[in-house]
Amino acid sequence: MRLSEAAGDCGYLFLFKSIDNLSLWLQPEPASSGVGTQELRNINMKAIVWGTLVAALLSACSFAAAQTNLHSDMKPKAKPSVFENEAQADFIFRYYSDDTSYVLKPRMTEGKVQGTRGEVEFLTPCSLADVLKAAAEQGRRELAVVVLNRYRGGAAIEEPIMRNWDRELKALGYQNVVFLRSAINTKQIKGLAILGGSFGP
C-alpha cells in the first residue's frame, strides 16, 4: 500500500473510531433541575468535538494529497529518443540561421589544411537558398535530417524553424524530415537527441 493511501485510510479510521468512542460519552445526561444548563454544555461539547474531528480529517486528506504529489514528482523522466539512422539519411545539414548552415551529407567543404593535430576540414557556409539547392540535387529523397542548435527562446523559436524546414523539404519530395539537437564537442550525428519530425504533408 502506498504511503498516501495509508495516510488516507488512517484519517478515515481515526474519524470513525473517534465517532464510535464518543457516541456514548456524548449521550445526554438524565434530566435534573439543571436540564437547561446540561443541554447547553452537551451542545457546546459536541460542536468542539465535531470541529476537532473535521480538522483531523482535513489534515489527513491534505497529507495524502501532498504525498501523492511527491510521488508523482519523483517519477523518473523518460530519456529522449536518439537518432540511429545516419546511414539511411539522404540529406543532412546543420542549421544556424537562414544565412548560415552547413551541409554534412553530402559533405560540402572548401578544402582541408594541415594542422598541428592533423588535417582540418573547412565546411562551406550555405544560405537558405544554397541548402535547398543542394537538397534538390539528391536523387533519393526518403529522409532529410536537420540539426538545430540551442536557442534562447526555446520551443518558441524552434517550432517555427522546424515547421518551415519541414514544409520546404517536403515540397522538394522528401518523405520524412527529422530534427535533432546538436551536442557540444561532437561532430557525430548518430546518438543526437531527436526533437521531432513529421509536421504534416
Residues 68/6, Cβ–Cβ less than 8 Å? no
Q: Which residues pair with 105 in a beta bridge?
A: 92
Helix (H) or strand (E) holding 146, with range, is strand 143-148
Q: Which three cell numbers stand for residue 161?
A: 524553424
To the nearest whole number, what is the mean pLDDT of the chain?
A: 76
Question: What is the spatial distance between Cα 109 and Cα 98, in angstroms, rounded to a whole number?
Answer: 19
Q: What is the pLDDT of residue 117?
A: 74
pTM of the model: 0.59
| Average pLDDT over every residue of 23-52 | 55
Which of 151, 153, 142, 147 minimizes the C-alpha distance to 131?
A: 147
Q: What is the pLDDT of residue 3?
A: 41
Q: What is the pLDDT of residue 146?
A: 97
Q: Is the pLDDT of residue 48 over 90?
A: no
Residues 142/125, Cβ–Cβ less than 8 Å? no
Q: Which three cell numbers stand for residue 104?
A: 554534412
Q: What is the pLDDT of residue 6?
A: 45
| Lowest mean per-residue pLDDT among 75-79, 139-143, 193-197 | 75-79
pLDDT tens per residue, range 115-169: 777 777 889 999 999 999 999 999 999 999 999 998 888 888 899 999 999 999 9
Q: Which three cell numbers stand for residue 163?
A: 515547421
